[in-house]
């Protein structure tokens, strides 16, 4: 009787592991297809970097004359 219960439990647990693995793979593949969302912080950093690049383009190096 104990052997039958243990074999049944092992089969049920094994089936659960396989089902979970299949579910995780499907979730992973769906996530790869979705476009990545940009966070508010990342967008702010990109904007500030663009502003910095524009300022650098306008910047002219000062020329100092040596005496």
Can you give the pLDDT at residue 3? Answer: 95
Q: Which two tokens stand for residue 60?
A: 């002219």
Tell whether 43 is covered by a domain.
yes
What is the distance between the alpha carbons of residues 20 and 28, in angstroms, rounded to a whole number? 12
pTM assigned to the model = 0.51
Query: What pLDDT is stored for residue 24 in this prediction?
Result: 97
Domain count, the chain: 1
pLDDT digits (tens, 9 = 90+) for 34-63: 888 888 888 899 899 999 999 888 888 777
Give me the pLDDT at residue 56, please.
87
Mean pLDDT of the chain: 90
Q: Provide the domain limits for residue 6.
A: 2-58
Residue 53 maps to a domain: yes
- Phi-psi region at 59: left, alpha or beta (left = phi > 0; alpha = psi -120 to 50): beta
Q: What is the pLDDT of residues 2-30, one digit of tens each?
A: 999 999 999 999 999 999 999 999 999 99
Domain contains 47: yes
């Amino acid at each position: 009787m104990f052997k039958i219960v243990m074999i049944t439990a092992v089969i049920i647990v094994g089936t659960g592991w396989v089902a979970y693995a299949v579910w995780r793979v499907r979730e992973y593949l769906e996530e790869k297809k979705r476009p990545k969302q940009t966070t508010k912080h990342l967008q702010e950093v990109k904007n500030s970097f663009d502003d910095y690049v524009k300022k650098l383009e306008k910047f002219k190096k000062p020329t100092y004359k040596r005496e």
